[in-house]
Structures are given as C-alpha cells and as structure tokens.
Structure 1
Amino acid sequence: MRFETPFLPDPDFTSFLVDIKDHLSAVHFRLYVPGLADARSASDGFDGKTLVEQLRRLDGVPQYGLLNARFHHPDIYTNTTYLDRIADHVQRLKDDAGLVGLVATDFYLLKALARHQPDLVTGVRLTPSVNCAITTVQELVSYVETATRYGFARPVRYVVDRRLNRQPQKLDELARQVDSIYPGMALVLLANEGCLADCPYRLTHEAQIALASFPGAPDPMVTVARRLGCLEDISNTPGLILSSPFIRPEDVQHLPASVAELKLCGRTRGPNRLRQIIQAYLDGAWKGNLFELLDAPEALARTHFIENAALPEEYYSTTTQCSKLCSSCGYCDALAKALLVRLPPDLSQWDG
C-alpha cells in the first residue's frame, strides 16, 4: 500500500518524506495564495517561496495543489488580477517544482481559471476533492467530464467519500465500474479523518471554514464545532468516534484489493505530529491516544483518551458490518464506555 500525504514545506519534514518516497503515491499542499479560501482554517506559517524550494527535493513524487474550499468569494471569479495571481503561482509550481495536478471542489473557480488562462490548465490533472463526496461512478464521471471540457487533463486517481471506507463490496463494485470507463484509474480512501459517520454538520462546516478566509470572519472550530457541532456530540456521546469510518494503521491489511492507495490528512497538525501519523501507517500500528491519530476531532485529545492499541481484534470486522442504527446496536457505546478516560479540564469548561 502506498500513501498520499500532506506536504508542509518544513526542511526536516521534507527530509523525512524524501527518505520514505518509495512509499508515497503523491503529496498535496496549500497553494499559499494570500486570501485564497482553504478547506482547513488554520494557517501553518509557511509561504509560496518556501513551498517551491522544498518541493524541488521531492523529485519523482506526484504533487497536487489544493483548491478544495467549498466556495470562494464570488468576486474572485471575475477578478482578473486575482485569477492571474492564482495562475502565476500554479504555473511556477508546474515549471519549478513537480506539480502535476490540482484537487478541487469549486468548479466555478476552475472554469474561471480555465477561461482566463486556457494554456495554464493544459496537462494539469484535475482530481475531484474528497469533499465532492463521490460514492457512485455517475458522480465521478460528471466531475471528470466537466473538468476535461474546461481543458484539464483526466485524473489518474479518485478519492471516494468516507462513507464507503468500511463497505468493501461497494468499493469493489465501484472500482469495477470505474475501470470499465477509465482503465487504470486508482481508487483512493481517506484514512484518518475522524468526522462523524454521515456527518449532518459536514457541508455547513466546510462552508464555514471557507467563510473563515474572508476578512473579519470567526474561526468556526472555536465558535461553532465546540459549542454546537461534532466535537460537542462526540464529547457527550463518545461512542460516535468509534462509529466513524476511519481506517487505522492496523486496519489497512483488511482492505479489499480494489483499494490502490490511502490518503492521509492532518496538514494543520504541524510537521512533528504529521510525521508521527505517517510513520504509524508505515509501521501498521499506532500506540497512544486514538484522538491524536485522527484529523478533525484532535481538539478533544486534551480531554479524551482512548488507547488505540486497546481496541479489540474484532473492532474492524464488527464496524464493517455496521447497520448505522446506533440506538439499536450499542457496540461502539459500550466499547467507548470501557476504554474512554476523561481528562481535565472538561470540554464544557472551555470558553473558546
């Protein structure tokens, strides 16, 4: 199994990726265009110049820039100066680093870029973001054919929605259907995102993260998720984290052969924690707090502890057969009750 990982332009982290690049299928990264919305709200302190310098060291590893925010300010679509800024940065990454494609959600922006600078998109592979929530071959075809009409190159890989992660029969069937239309296109799963299963907050949360890039907008993780959203739900009902369809390092061996690659997330976690997460998947084991492995609920790691190694051997097989009717099952709730250790301070004491 090979892995797509986040890329942070930290010299030591880059050295780590260079050492393991035979295990990498691709890297993805923020474009560092000032004011451009992003699917993650936290800034990591790096810049575009450092990005190009460090990416040059990853020769031979496919590189993907992220345009994966749920939406952008409508003025961007017609602002030729700003479109030039985005295009110039993408062109520099093509010329001076190893950018082969973009990962995108907002097709308004893609069309605006392609119409404004058609030569820019030639040869650039457009991969629909996991935020496009692809679960069927028809959805994938719609995204791929739309992007190719704009002039983008066809992707060589596709990331499906997390709800399919523990549905091996559906994964096999989807891979068979896709291969009949796009032979050789690789099926990728997002492994370590710990969002709620079929999260009812997801689309709104993604919109709020995009909105956070606008001047004066609040950080939605502080103002919403801890008070009204998924973090409060998990804190109050800890079994919800165990019903989330993440794939632990220990679970990789159980995946169907149709899964070609795993995508790891956590680019806002910093280079040291991200290195630990990647290494865990290379080693096939994570020893420590489950909340630290996962991206999205990691803020709860300060107050909630579940020893990942203590999860029983049948955990993956049991949750793979999950009916999603938590109220009539109780498996995850019982497991969380047995394993969860609450640490002070309580989530209810946080003032954001």
Structure 2
Amino acid sequence: MKLYVPHVGHMEGLRSLLEGSDDIYAVYMAGSPDYIGTGRTNLSAPSIEDIAEQVEYAHSKNVKLEIVLNSSCMGGQQLSPEGYRTISWYFDRLNEMEVDSVTVADPYLVEMLSRDYDIEVVVSVLSFVDSPQKAMFYEELGADTIVVDPVVNRDFQKLEAIKESVSCNLKLLVNEGCLYQCPFRYAHFNFFSHANGPGPKPNVLDDYYYYKCLSIRLRDPEQIIKSPWIRPEDLPHYLPITDTFKIGGRTHFINWILNTVNAYSNQHYDGNLLDLLDSIRDLREVFEIPNSELDGTIKQWENCSKNCKKCGYCKRLSEKVVRVIER
C-alpha cells in the first residue's frame, strides 16, 4: 500500500514527518504561488532552493516528493505568451531538481508536462474525474496517474469502470470531509486558486463557501455521514481498484498528519472519526462519531443506489452515531 502524505512545505516539517513515520511512500506539497496557484490554502511558499533541498532529503529517505500546482482557474494566463514562459521556466526547474511528480488540474498543463518533461504527470482531484469517459480523455492527454474525484468513492461500480477504461495509475483521496455532491465545490476551489496564486489577489473579508458548508452540517449532521470519506478499516475493499491512497490535510499541523498516517497505515482507528477528516476541523469541537460504531457500513455503501431520499440509510445512521459534545 502506498500512502501519499501531506506536507506543509518547509524543511523542519519534512524532517518531522519522515522521522515520525516509516509508512510514508511519498509526500506532496504546494509549490510557489508566484507561478501557479493551488486549490488549497498555502501554509508556506517554498522557493526553488527550498524545494531542491527537500527533494534531496526525501530521496535520501527513499521517499518520493510531489509538487501540487492544481489551480482550477488561472484566468487564462497559462495560455498567454508571458504565462507560458513563466510556467515553462518553473517546470524546467522542478524537472532539473528531479521532483518525482507534479499534480495539475488544467488539461493544458497535463498535456504540456507529458509532452515536454520526463516527470510523472498527476491529474488532480480538482479535475473532477468521476467517470470512465473523463479518465480516458485525461489519459489520452498524457496522465500517468489520476486522482479520482472523491464523489465516486462509494460508487464501486463506477470505480471499477474507471479502472477498466484506463491503463494509467489511480489514486484515491481517503479523508476529504467535503459535502457529497457539494454545490459550492467549483466556486470554492476557483476562489482558492486565485487567492493562492499569482496576483492580483482578491481582497475578500471572509470565506463564504466554508462557513456556508459548515452551517449546513451543523444543522444537518447526516451530511457528515454522506461525505465520501473512506475509513482506515475499509481500505482493503478498495485494493482491487488501487493500492495508492492520498491523505488530505496539508494545512494541518505535523502531529495531526502523523496521527492520520498511523491510522491509515494500521487500517484501524479507535477514536472520533472527525479526528481524521480534512477540511472540517471546526466540527470536531461540536460532534463525535465513534469510528468503531461504523464497522460494517461499507457493505451498505458498496451497493448504494445514491437515491438518498428513498434510501434513508445515512440519516438513520447519523441519528445513531453522531453525538453532540457536551461542554
């Protein structure tokens, strides 16, 4: 089993990660937002020199290093002569320092990397590959690996169809805590891409999408159960699809990352499921979901019809296992 683990982007953090666990196959981190943005907030902005140093250190520990440049919107700059030259220059530097893989969301960059560089091309989860047809298009563009949209994490029929349709590698994001079929997803990642990319940056006062999403789950905890996370105990059910799993959470502290790595490496966690989920850290202060009480739920989700109104399984389950933390 190969675990791709989030890294905050500085050397001290990388040392702490690799000294704290022997179960890390690869780490991934954002590149510099001066060149291409990412779909998440950057806690650090590593320079060319920083990345080179960290690549060398990771390789000395037999760990791969991946750079994430998965902006979902660059305002068309990637197609301008100036933007193309800037991106090419940055890709040249990453290739020279032997970065193992680069994750991008824009199809143009997928094709550019595949055509011009000897580097593994990873299609981001923000490319929203949720069907065999879309996977085939990206493979034709040059994808070596596709991170499948988590929206189909519990649709085993579709996952199997995607696997059968392409020869490239597949990677599953296991612990994203976003809403299932989230209506804010595209707009939210576009906002992040501009806020965490080359200027001009938007001057905003608050993150509407985050707080709207949070408020929905506070009112309706059933949505937490519907979210397409994969429990550590359920990884064996996905091995016929892939043996490569990505842990989300590059905006978290090292101790959180290591705790999550340990849970997925051991395929067991005895505690609050929300401890492991990315992007909903505020909910951990409100709700508890004993992970052990979710044993066996995968059997329902392996055959889920996705007709929530008719089924009602997640609603009943949430009423049983989601508990409000008393203060």
Aligned length: 320
Residue in structure 1 matching 2:245, options 246, 259, 262? 262
Work out the percentage of aligned pairs sharing the same amino acid: 26
State yes or no: 1:166 paired with 2:154.
yes
TM-score, normalised relative to structure 1: 0.80
| 2:204 equivalent in structure 1 | 218
Find the counterpart in structure 2 of residue 324 from structure 1.
306
Alpha-carbon contact 1:243-1:319 (below 8 Å) kept:
no
| 1:216 CA drift (Å) | 3.8
Counterpart in the other structure of 1:34? 34
User: In 1, are the aligned partners of 2:285 and 2:325 still within 8 Å (CA)?
Assistant: yes
Alignment partners' CA distance in 1, 2:224 and 2:40? 20
CA distance in 2 between partners of 1:273 and 1:234 (Å)? 22
Q: Shift of the alpha carbon at 1:217?
A: 2.9
Separation in structure 2 between the aligned mates of residue 89 and residue 14 of structure 1, nearest angstrom: 25
Alignment match, 2:17: 16
TM-score (norm 2): 0.85
The amino acid that maps onto 1:235 is: L
1:233 Cα deviation after fit: 1.5
Tell me the CA shift for residue 40 of structure 1. 0.4
Q: Are the counterparts in 2 of residues 306 and 339 from structure 1 also a CA contact under 8 Å?
A: yes
| Structure 2 residue aligned with 1:94 | 95
Q: How does 1:285-300 map to 2 (within 5 A)?
A: 285-300=268-283
Counterpart for residue 142 of structure 1: 137
Alignment partner of 1:5 is 2:24: no
Q: Is the 8 A contact 1:63 1:101 kept in 2?
A: yes
CA RMSD of aligned residues (A): 2.8
Structure 2: give runs of 5+ residues left out of the alignment: none
* Structure 1 residue runs without a partner (length 5+): 149-153, 346-352
Give matches, 1:1-352, under 5 Å: 1-8=1-8, 9-11=10-12, 13-17=14-18, 20=21, 23-24=24-25, 26-34=26-34, 36-41=36-41, 43-48=42-47, 49-59=49-59, 60-75=62-77, 77-78=79-80, 80=82, 84-96=85-97, 98-108=98-108, 114=112, 121-146=116-141, 148=142, 154-155=143-144, 157-178=145-166, 182=167, 185-213=168-196, 214-218=200-204, 222-226=207-211, 228=212, 230-311=213-294, 313-343=295-325
Q: 1: distance between equivalents of 2:6 and 2:171?
A: 14
- SS where residue 57 of structure 1 aligns? helix
Cα 1:344–1:91 shift into 2, 3 Å: farther
Aligned to 1:349: none
**Secondary structure of the structure 1 residue equivalent to 2:258:** helix
Secondary structure of 2:139's counterpart equals helix
Q: CA deviation at 1:163?
A: 2.6
